[in-house]
């Protein structure tokens, strides 16, 4: 019953793999120990990228280059206006290379081409917003301390930042961090996910094209468990900015504690959308369907559980299932595709294991539940009903196109179910009653709460998680502030 898409592709699948090297101190280099890494596409049965794989020694060299660049300047000492000029040029170049970046993203991640193009555009927008931040960030002055005292609290760049990113939105997530770190005057070592490193390395080329000084941004491709500990424990690293799973986030937090470096973590989610009978039905159904199938559900902000008022649960779920059947699944290089391939065979297995576990626990597979296609790793849009709050599929991040439907009887119960979960990234409510909306907005523990909308995002607004969804905030005025230290200077006159 899947709305399967194949046929005309926007571009042919390239015959040559992308070749990536390490960017250390302004030079593209092979691995010092000859290590290699290749990426087989999750959608097409071919190697789409080959990389030099960084060793620990390469990673240390990258950190030293960043530290040298920070100490020597001029990046750490030039004006915000000068930094802004370069950040805007990066955004221009990203848009010039939008199609190339989007295709690389599709080949490595399996996401649909239309969503990959949007991701590039959104990432470019973040570079532009960071450029504004570079010019507008400022500290405070204090002249109320007595006639003979004057003080100021200034913001300084924190120093060398290790940036570690996941595979689901490679270009977007590096762009939530890197331009803001650069805007603050930091220097960086970037480690993209070993599954999707290509677009980050193209970004490295762009940084060189626009004239970023050598050593300000270094890039290492490699396995997390192998080079991750160097990036998170090295004494020259002042901060780790990480997006990824909660398990790895906890390990990084523990590793970084040895040198008390600052850690910012953007982690997993199990985000509820709470649906009341008085909602705009069509908008709510659309948002639920978009919320779970966008990026094949491989999205930290995925609306992966819905809490539906018991009086409308059957009818609302039927409407969601009917709409889910229409979602085009298949070849991610086709323009019409809305759900592409899952990142890997292992991950597809993990998603199907969750579905089987749910059935054994008493849930019902009301739609989908099966892998699809023969070539790549595809999962049918799946709706699980009769889900109860204690089940794994109501609490754990599946990271696939699998919606868990729960019910509630009143506002208090909805808030209780929403909060009774280790994650707290985002939440949403659908209701015409402003009291319901605001009660949920104020009382649900989540970094973002959407009232009658879902997954709208603006660079001006903060993003991050409560509880095990993370610590620290990205974007908005907080985006650049995360990468700074406060210094108080007091003067006696
Ligand atoms: P992951 O945690 O497996 O890997 C993330 C990155 O960490 C990769 O680059 C990996 O190589 C690296 N890594 C692995 N072990 C490491 C170690 N010991 N030390 C240092 N680095 C290490 O996550 P993933 O599977 O790539 O991504 C999916 C996860 O990311 C999901 O849980 C998702 O919710 C989360 N995510 C969160 C956000 C957010 O903003 N909150 C956004 C996107 C994804």
Contact yes or no for 115/102 (Cβ under 8 A): no
Question: What is the 171 CA–ligand 1 centroid distance (Å)?
Answer: 14
In angstroms, rounded to a whole number, what is the distance separating the alpha carbons of residues 39 and 194?
8
Could you report the per-residue pLDDT of 197-211, keeping only the tens digit for each? 999 999 999 999 999
Could you tell me the two tokens for 371? 């892998």
Rg (CA), the chain: 23
Q: What is the pLDDT of residue 11?
A: 96
For 73, half-sphere exposure in the C-beta direction (CA atoms, 13 angstrom radius) is 7
Where does 232-284 show beta strands of DSSP type E?
239-243, 262-266, 272-275
Query: Is any ligand 1 atom within 6 A of the Cβ of residue 331?
Result: no
Query: Is any ligand 1 atom within 6 A of the Cβ of residue 429?
Result: no
Assess whether pLDDT exceeds 80 at residue 1: no
Q: What is the pLDDT of residue 309?
A: 98
User: Percent of the chain beyond pLDDT 70?
Assistant: 100
Q: Cis (ω within 30 of 0) for the bond into 221?
A: no
Whose alpha carbon is nearest atom 14 of ligand 1?
A: 224
Could you report the per-residue pLDDT of 298-321, keeping only the tens digit for each? 999 999 999 999 999 999 999 999
Query: Is any ligand 1 atom within 6 A of the Cβ of residue 194?
Result: yes
Question: What is the 247 CA–ligand 1 centroid distance (Å)?
Answer: 9
Could you report the per-residue pLDDT of 413-466, keeping only the tens digit for each? 999 999 999 999 999 999 999 999 999 999 999 999 999 999 999 999 999 999
Query: Is any ligand 1 atom within 6 A of the Cβ of residue 168?
Result: yes
Section 389-408 average pLDDT:
98
Question: Which residues, including other chains, have CB under 8 Å from residue 467's CB and lie 6 or more apart?
Answer: 422, 423, 424, 445
Question: What is the 22 CA–ligand 1 centroid distance (Å)?
Answer: 20
Q: What residues form DSSP beta bridges with 364?
A: 385
Give how far Cα 124 sits from Cα of 85, 132, 430, 451, Å.
14, 13, 31, 27
Which has more pLDDT, 244 or 7? 244
Assess whether pLDDT exceeds 90 at residue 32: yes
Which band of pLDDT confidence, cut at 50, 70 and 90, is reported for residue 374? confident
Assess whether pLDDT exceeds 90 at residue 269: yes
Whose alpha carbon is nearest atom 34 of ligand 1?
A: 268
The whole-chain average pLDDT of the chain stands at 97
Q: What is the pLDDT of residue 370?
A: 94
Q: Which positions are catalytic?
A: 266
pTM check: above 0.90: yes
Atom of ligand 1 nearest to the CA of 169: 43
Atom of ligand 1 nearest to the CA of 247: 2
Section 467-477 average pLDDT:
97
Assess whether pLDDT exceeds 80 at residue 411: yes
Query: Is any ligand 1 atom within 6 A of the Cβ of residue 245?
Result: yes
Query: Is any ligand 1 atom within 6 A of the Cβ of residue 162?
Result: no
Q: What is the pLDDT of residue 474?
A: 98
Convert 62-101 into a string of H (helix), E (strand) and C (coil).
HHHHHHHHHHHCCCCCCCHHHHHHHHHHHHHHHHHCHHHH
Could you report the per-residue pLDDT of 85-127, keeping only the tens digit for each? 999 999 999 999 999 999 999 999 999 999 999 999 999 999 9
Q: What is the pLDDT of residue 84?
A: 98
In angstroms, rounded to a whole number, what is the distance separating the alpha carbons of residues 221 and 224?
9
Q: What is the pLDDT of residue 403?
A: 98
Q: What is the pLDDT of residue 373?
A: 82
User: Percent of the chain beyond pLDDT 90?
Assistant: 98
Contact yes or no for 452/274 (Cβ under 8 A): no
Section 74-89 average pLDDT:
98
Pick left, alpha or beta for residue 391 (phi over 0 → left; psi -120 to 50 → alpha; otherwise beta): beta
Contact yes or no for 164/195 (Cβ under 8 A): no
Which band of pLDDT confidence, cut at 50, 70 and 90, is reported for residue 249? very high
Section 60-72 average pLDDT:
98
Section 195-224 average pLDDT:
98
Question: What is the 278 CA–ligand 1 centroid distance (Å)?
Answer: 38
Question: What is the 246 CA–ligand 1 centroid distance (Å)?
Answer: 8
């Amino acid at each position: 019953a899947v709305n399967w898409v194949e046929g005309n592709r926007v571009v042919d699948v390239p015959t040559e793999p992308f070749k990536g090297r390490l960017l250390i101190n302004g030079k593209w280099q092979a691995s010092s120990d000859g290590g290699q890494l290749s990426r087989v596409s999750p959608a097409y049965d071919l190697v789409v990228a080959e990389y030099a794989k960084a060793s620990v020694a390469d990673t240390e060299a990258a950190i030293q280059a960043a530290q040298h660049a920070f100490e020597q300047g001029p990046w750490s000492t030039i004006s915000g206006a000068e930094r802004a000029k370069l950040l805007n040029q990066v955004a221009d170049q990203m848009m010039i290379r939008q199609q190339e970046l989007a295709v690389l993203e599709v080949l490595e991640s399996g996401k649909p081409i239309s969503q990959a193009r949007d991701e590039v555009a959104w990432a470019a927008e973040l570079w532009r917003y960071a450029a504004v931040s570079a010019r507008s960030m400022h500290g405070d002055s204090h002249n109320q301390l007595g006639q003979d005292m004057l003080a100021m609290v200034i913001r300084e760049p924190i120093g060398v930042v290790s940036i570690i990113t996941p595979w689901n939105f490679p270009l977007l997530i590096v762009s939530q961090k890197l331009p803001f770190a650069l805007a603050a005057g930091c220097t960086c070592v970037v480690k993209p996910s070993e599954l999707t490193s290509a677009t980050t390395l193209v970004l490295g080329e762009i940084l060189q094209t626009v004239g970023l000084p050598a050593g300000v941004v270094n890039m290492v491709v490699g396995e997390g468990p192998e080079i991750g500990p160097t990036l998170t424990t090295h004494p020259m690293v002042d901060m780790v900015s990480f997006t990824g799973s909660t398990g790895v986030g906890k390990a990084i937090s523990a590793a970084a504690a040895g040198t008390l470096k600052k850690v910012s973590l953007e982690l997993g989610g199990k985000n509820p959308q709470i649906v009341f009978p008085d909602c705009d039905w069509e908008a709510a159904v659309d948002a639920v369907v978009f919320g779970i199938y966008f990026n094949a559900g491989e999205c930290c902000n995925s609306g992966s559980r819905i809490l539906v008022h018991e009086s409308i649960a059957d009818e609302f779920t039927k409407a969601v299932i009917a709409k889910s059947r229409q979602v085009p699944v298949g070849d991610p290089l086709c323009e019409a595709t809305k759900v592409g391939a899952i990142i890997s065979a292992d991950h597809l297995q993990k998603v199907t294991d969750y579905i089987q576990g749910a059935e054994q626990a008493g849930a019902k597979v009301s739609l989908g539940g099966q892998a699809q296609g023969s070539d790549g790793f595809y999962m049918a849009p799946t709706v699980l009903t009769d889900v109860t709050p204690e089940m794994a599929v109501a609490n754990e991040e599946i990271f696939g196109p699998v919606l868990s439907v729960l019910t509630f009887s009143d506002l208090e119960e909805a808030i209780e179910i929403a909060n009774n979960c280790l994650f707290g990234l985002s939440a949403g409510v659908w209701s015409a009653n402003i009291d319901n909306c605001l009660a949920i907005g104020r009382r649900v523990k989540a970094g973002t709460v959407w009232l009658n909308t879902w997954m709208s995002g603006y660079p001006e607004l903060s993003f991050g998680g409560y509880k095990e969804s993370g610590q620290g905030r990205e974007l908005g005025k907080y985006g650049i502030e995360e990468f700074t230290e406060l210094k108080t200077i007091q003067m006696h006159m």
